[in-house]
Amino acid sequence: MAGTTRVLGGHPGLYGEYSRKGGIAITATHYCAGCGHGILHKLIAEAMVALGVQDRCILLSPVGCAVFAYYYVDCGHVQAAHGRAQAVATGISRAEDGAIVLSYQGDGDLASIGLNETIQAANRGEKIAVFFVNNTVYGMTGGQMAPTTLIGEATITSPGGRDPVQSGFPIHMCELLDTLRAPVYIERVSLSDVPHIHRARHAVRRALEIQRDGKGYAFVEVLSPCPTALRMDALAMEQFINEKMEKEFPLKLFRDRSKDTEPIHRPRSDYSKDTLDRIFGCTEETLRAEAFEDTAFETKGIKIAGFGGQGVLSMGLALAQCAYDSRRYVSWYPDYGPEQRGGTSNCSVVISGSPIGSPVVDHPDVLVAFNRPSLVKFAPTVAKGGLIICDSLVGDYAVPEGIRAIAVPATEIATEMGVPQAINVVMLGALMEVGGLGLPGEAYSGALFEVFARRPELLSLNRKLLEKGAKAARESRTT
Amino acid sequence: MVSRLVAGNSAVIIGAMYAGCDCFFGYPITPASEILHEASQYFPLAGRKFLQAESEEAAINMVYGAASSGHRVLAASSGPGISLKQEGISYLAGAELPCVIVDVCRAGPGLGNIGPEQSDYNQIVKGGGHGNYNTIVLAPNSVQEMCDLTRKAFDLAFAYRNPAVVLADGVLGHIVEPLRFPAQAVEPKIDTTWAVSGNRETKGNVITSIYLNFDELERHNVRLQRKYARIRENETAYEEYKTDDARIVLVSYGISSRIARSAVDQARREGIKAGLFRPITLFPFPEKGLMLPAARNCTFISVEMSNGQMQDDIRLATGCGRVELVNRYGGNLIRVEDLMEKIREIA
Ligand SMILES: Cc1ncc(C[n+]2csc(CCOP(=O)(O)OP(=O)(O)O)c2C)c(N)n1
């Protein structure tokens, strides 16, 4: 990036003076003599103006020599992190459907650190035009090897020439992206000399037309001179591109599917409260009056545990809903730790007459154990004077002193009723009957409706299961 | 007032959408994934933009893009994903772009596990990415606050043109509690003085964080520091529970503060004068609020699911040597009885 007086200007797509750059040479660029970036800037500026879309254009400056593209091109500008330009472009394009987003990137930026973002944006068919400056080298950082460096080409970090055994082969971005379905336009052009620049001008314009029409992803790879990093004079540079680079990276229109592509329109955002209330189901029937302070109501911690699939978590939710409908303070917390994968699960429900501190129940007042492992694990943690409700199938178990235990044939009842998956409803019935939680009976059947089944035929079955659970618990207590 | 039972991660999306959030860019990670799920379901229903990104890095850079164009944008992740976002967060702070990032913290380091922890404190509160910057950090401790502080985070992010983070944890993400729905819905306006939106009005604007000239970058830094000072001055928030006459002050945020509150109640039942000081903003850290109990020579206990990361800040704020630590790691929650043991020992 030696000091230079190269002038780029005299076009309405470019600023008259480069005041963002500052300095004395206010109409000169920061680019080295013979650099391709300035030429490409001008081609983009020309296309913007010619298509009448200048106001809509947002040019992304990459990390690389073109990091200051915003000094020159007269449009909106966003500077992006190294390699992330197409993710940034995606964000802008999704948010501003009317914007024409132009991602401008070097080979290190696009094909090395940003390769994933490149492929993914292309694969999604984002509405962006990508200008990929392939100069076979990292310019800005002083001439290191790039993913596009030719075999045998010497750079600072491949002093003996790129050796494919050590560093692999040059990446062909057009060919790579040409394997994807979504891109609309892919072309490789060159800036080596005037005839090539004419063809490049055409490609740049097509890419912008596709953006103007909102059709999707356009990718233009530009073989570009970097005489400074490659240590070549103008003639050698021209020959290098025309003979060596073109051999590795043939110039070609890979695809132009714009005629067969429909414009993509993104919806307008709706910010109205009515819409939000509607989509979140914020209706009279789903909303409840809030809990009220009632210090006479004793706080209760309930733990419900069993195998995954037994409906442990939804039983907890039903209980929480029931407490909530009764205007008690309530919290439900699923233990989502490693055991969830191992097939057992549990949740904590706290019900209180005042705001709830810890939502985690370490010492339950009531433990509902659906299976033996849960009983064995949690029975020792039950609070003194507490209650255990378990399925009759758990077998004999010595209950800790000072704790009551009630076995309910929940599995049996649910199976008899033809709904073996509804053990949890039977258990809820048992809890309602003997749990001593101080919640009204109607609240339980109301909660069934909320949590389990909004279909009336299931509701009546669930009510029956609830009653059978209650009855079984009553009988079990008296025996 | 009316409300409904809602999970913490769902409350984030409700808060964001009523706050006029227009775009969500995410990548799956437990225990934050439900935020992504809910966004995928609800954003399109209101014409808002949802995209599952290819990585957390891509996601945060999509946030950067949409924020550049002046829109309200949300991202959510957990520890490993937040680590990946740090470069992007530094760029957002450097370019002074507003956005909201939710961290539903899980246990680390490395892959750790999906249990709750608060060990992202330092990487969130102290910056985490490169350079001299701060994000605004809000720490909810209930489902209601998951919603309300997400909304507030948008207001603060835009008031100061700065990224704001809602720092939660695995428990808060999954807990179900009553949620009072927002009474208002925000219809955001693009600020054309700085946004780059692809129209004539904003054509002259540029979003960048590069300042080649040393003096210019120094001035930019000084300006940022002044902004952070203003945030410190005006936005500090905390809650006190029974601290008036307390001899022992538990300092705790997020889910740990709920457990600490239960311990305070238990201590009071045992006749021990304990109280709870709960920072709601972690940046700015409520230093002044802590000075009062410090002046009364209280003993502090930092209650956190991390290795004393907040304890350091309490020490700095109070200039007090007597800051004890009760903590757990690895996905384990602090238990009320762990706290009681320490409280009784001190009392
Ligand atoms: C994360 C990160 N890594 C490395 C750098 C240093 N860096 C600046 S420019 C650049 C390479 C640019 O090369 P290229 O993309 O080929 O563009 P050119 O400069 O050749 O136009 C690198 C590695 C950076 N800014 N950020």
pLDDT digits (tens, 9 = 90+) for A293-329: 999 999 999 999 999 888 999 999 999 999 999 999 9
Q: Do residues B226 and B242 share a domain?
A: no
Alpha helices of B76-213 — where are they, by DSSP H? 79-94, 121-125, 143-160, 170-174
pLDDT in tens, A21-37: 988 899 899 999 999 99
- Chain B nearest C-alpha distance from A242 (Å): 35
Q: Is the pLDDT of residue B186 over 60?
A: yes
Average pLDDT over residues A242-262: 98
Q: How far is the CA of A63 from the centre of ligand 1 (A)?
A: 5
Q: Do B178 and A291 touch (CB under 8 A)?
A: yes
Average pLDDT over residues B144-173: 98
Query: Would you say B327 and B305 are in contact if contact means Cβ atoms under 8 Å apart?
Result: yes
* The residue to which tokens 């004539």 are assigned: B200
Query: What is the ipTM for the molecules in this complex?
Result: 0.97
Q: How far is the CA of A137 from the centre of ligand 1 (A)?
A: 10
Please give the structure tokens belonging to residue B143. Answer: 């489902």
Chain A 180-209, CB below 8 Å of chain B: which residues? Answer: none
Q: Do residues B254 and B231 share a domain?
A: no
Chain B 276-295, CB below 8 Å of chain A: which residues? Answer: none
Alpha-carbon distance of A363 to B245, in angstroms, equals: 30
- Name the residue type at position A145: M
Chain A contact present for B269, CB below 8 A? no
- Chain A nearest C-alpha distance from B296 (Å): 26
Please tell me the pTM assigned to this model.
0.96
pLDDT in tens, A360-413: 999 999 999 999 999 999 999 999 999 999 999 999 999 999 999 999 999 999
Q: Is the pLDDT of residue A115 over 60?
A: yes
Note if the bond before B284 is cis, omega within 30 degrees. yes
Q: Do residues B132 and B19 share a domain?
A: yes
| Domain end among B201, B235, B269 | B235
Chain B residues close to A80, C-beta within 8 Å: 61, 64-65
Q: What's the domain count of chain B?
A: 2
Q: Do B198 and A54 touch (CB under 8 A)?
A: no
Q: Whose CA is nearest to atom 24 of ligand 1?
A: A82
Q: Which domain holds residue B144?
A: 3-235
Q: Give the confidence band of A1 by pLDDT, cuts at 50, 70, 90.
A: very low
Helix (H, G, I), strand (E, B) or coil at A273: helix
Q: Give the confidence band of B1 by pLDDT, cuts at 50, 70, 90.
A: low
Alpha-carbon distance of A394 to A373, in angstroms, equals: 9
* The residue to which tokens 């470069």 are assigned: B87
Q: How far is the CA of A115 from the centre of ligand 1 (A)?
A: 13
Query: Would you say B224 and B231 are in contact if contact means Cβ atoms under 8 Å apart?
Result: no
Chain A residues close to B205, C-beta within 8 Å: 76-77
Average pLDDT over residues A123-134: 98
The whole-number pLDDT of residue A8 equals: 59
Chain B residues close to A71, C-beta within 8 Å: none
The count of other CB atoms within 10 Å of the CB of residue B37 is 14
Q: Do B14 and A87 touch (CB under 8 A)?
A: no
Kindly write down the DSSP assignment for every residue of A311-341, as one continuous string: -HHHHHHHHHHHHHHTT-EEEEEEE-STHHH
pLDDT in tens, B175-185: 999 999 999 99
Q: Give the confidence band of A2 by pLDDT, cuts at 50, 70, 90.
A: very low
CA-closest candidate to residue B260, choices B318, B305, B292: B305
With a Cβ cut-off of 6 Å, ligand 1 is lined by A 63-66, 82, 106-109, 133, 135, 138-141, 146
Residue A148 C-alpha from the chain's centroid: 30
User: What residues form DSSP beta bridges with B2?
Assistant: A289
Quick one: what percent of chain A has pLDDT higher than 70? 96
Average pLDDT over residues B216-242: 98
- Chain B nearest C-alpha distance from A364 (Å): 13
- Determine the residue of chain B that is closest to A299 in CA distance: B262
* CB < 8 Å & 24+ apart, contacts of A2-11: A2/A32, A2/A33, A2/A228, A4/A28, A4/A29, A4/A30, A4/A31, A4/A32, A4/A33, A6/A31, A6/A32, A6/A33, A6/A35, A6/A38, A8/A38, A8/A41, A8/A42, A8/A72, A11/A42, A11/A45, A11/A46, A11/A49
| Domain end among B211, B235, B259 | B235
Q: What is the CATH number of the domain that holds B262?
A: 3.40.50.920
Which ligand 1 atom is the nearest neighbour of the CA of A63? 9
Which ligand 1 atom is the nearest neighbour of the CA of A146? 16
Average pLDDT over residues B89-105: 98
**Strands A404-408, A387-391: pairing kind:** parallel
Q: Do residues B218 and B270 share a domain?
A: no
Q: Do residues B245 and B180 share a domain?
A: no
The whole-number pLDDT of residue A7 equals: 52
Q: Do residues B141 and B288 share a domain?
A: no
Q: Do residues B175 and B77 share a domain?
A: yes
Chain A residues close to B4, C-beta within 8 Å: 282, 286-288
Chain A contact present for B202, CB below 8 A? yes
Instruction: Give the mutation candidate from B41, B175, B176, B201 for the A interface (greatest A CB count, under 10 A).
Output: B176
Q: How far is the CA of B52 from the centre of ligand 1 (A)?
A: 27
Q: Domain-by-domain residue ranges, chain A?
A: 36-260, 276-478
Instruction: Give the mutation candidate from B1, B3, B5, B111 for the A interface (greatest A CB count, under 10 A).
Output: B5
Alpha-carbon distance of A126 to B71, in angstroms, equals: 18
pLDDT in tens, A264-281: 999 999 999 999 999 999
The whole-number pLDDT of residue A3 equals: 45
Q: To 5 degrees, how large is the angle CA B236–CA B242–CA B244? A: 80
Q: Give the confidence band of A9 by pLDDT, cuts at 50, 70, 90.
A: low
Q: Give the confidence band of B3 by pLDDT, cuts at 50, 70, 90.
A: confident
Encode A18-56 in three state secondary structure.
CCCCCCCCCCECCCCCCCCHHHHHHHHHHHHHHCCCHHH
**Strands B49-52, B23-26: pairing kind:** parallel
Q: Do residues B224 and B248 share a domain?
A: no
Q: Give the confidence band of A341 by pLDDT, cuts at 50, 70, 90.
A: low
Q: Do A290 and B53 touch (CB under 8 A)?
A: no
The whole-number pLDDT of residue A337 equals: 61
Q: Give the confidence band of A477 by pLDDT, cuts at 50, 70, 90.
A: confident
**Which of A54, A80, A92 shows the shortest C-beta gap to B69?**
A92
Q: Give the confidence band of A52 by pLDDT, cuts at 50, 70, 90.
A: very high
Average pLDDT over residues B52-76: 98
Q: Do residues B219 and B251 share a domain?
A: no
CA-closest candidate to residue A397, choices A423, A366, A371, A415: A371
What CA–CA distances, in Å, run from A5 to A33, A34, A69, A197, A238? Answer: 8, 11, 17, 22, 21
Query: Would you say B119 and B169 are in contact if contact means Cβ atoms under 8 Å apart?
Result: no
Query: Would you say B100 and B164 are in contact if contact means Cβ atoms under 8 Å apart?
Result: yes
**Which of B46, B200, B262 shows the shortest C-beta gap to A270?**
B46
Chain B contact present for A20, CB below 8 A? yes
Chain A residues close to B58, C-beta within 8 Å: 84, 87, 90, 116-117, 120
Pocket test for ligand 1, best of A68, A110, A117, A141 (most atoms within 8 A of CB): A141
Helix (H, G, I), strand (E, B) or coil at B149: helix
Q: Do residues B248 and B225 share a domain?
A: no
The count of other CB atoms within 10 Å of the CB of residue A232 is 17
Alpha-carbon distance of B202 to B193, in angstroms, equals: 7
Q: Do A95 and B22 touch (CB under 8 A)?
A: yes
Q: Give the confidence band of A342 by pLDDT, cuts at 50, 70, 90.
A: low
- Determine the residue of chain B that is closest to A78 in CA distance: B207
Q: Do residues B224 and B251 share a domain?
A: no
Chain B contact present for A66, CB below 8 A? no
User: What residues form DSSP beta bridges with A301?
Assistant: A350
Please give the structure tokens belonging to residue B132. Answer: 């001299």
What CA–CA distances, in Å, run from B221 to B94, B159, B227, B228? Answer: 9, 19, 10, 11
Alpha-carbon distance of A405 to A477, in angstroms, equals: 9
Chain B contact present for A1, CB below 8 A? no
Alpha-carbon distance of A207 to A87, in angstroms, equals: 18
The whole-number pLDDT of residue A338 equals: 56
Q: Do A358 and B258 touch (CB under 8 A)?
A: yes
Chain B contact present for A61, CB below 8 A? yes
pLDDT in tens, A173-208: 999 999 999 999 999 999 999 999 999 999 999 999
Q: How far is the CA of B133 from the centre of ligand 1 (A)?
A: 23
Chain B residues close to A317, C-beta within 8 Å: 5, 176
Chain A contact present for B55, CB below 8 A? yes
Residue B272 C-alpha from the chain's centroid: 32
Chain B 207-226, CB below 8 Å of chain A: which residues? Answer: 207-210
Q: Is the pLDDT of residue A149 over 90?
A: yes
Backbone angles phi, psi at A223, to 5 degrees: -75, 125
**Average predicted confidence (pLDDT) for chain A:** 94
Q: Do residues B220 and B249 share a domain?
A: no
**Which of B45, B51, B176 shows the shortest C-beta gap to A320?**
B176
pLDDT in tens, B307-339: 999 999 999 999 877 899 999 999 999 999 999
Helices (H) and strands (E) in chain A, counts: 18, 16
Chain A contact present for B144, CB below 8 A? no
Chain B contact present for A93, CB below 8 A? yes
Q: Give the confidence band of A478 by pLDDT, cuts at 50, 70, 90.
A: low
User: CATH topology for A276-478?
Assistant: Pyruvate-ferredoxin Oxidoreductase; domain 3 (3.40.920)
- Chain A nearest C-alpha distance from B262 (Å): 5
Q: What is the CATH number of the domain that holds B22?
A: 3.40.50.970
User: CATH topology for A36-260?
Assistant: Rossmann fold (3.40.50)
Task: List CB contacts of B280: < 8 A, sequence separation 6 or more.
Answer: B138, B139, B145, B149, B237, B238, B239, B253, B286
Q: Is the pLDDT of residue A6 over 60?
A: no
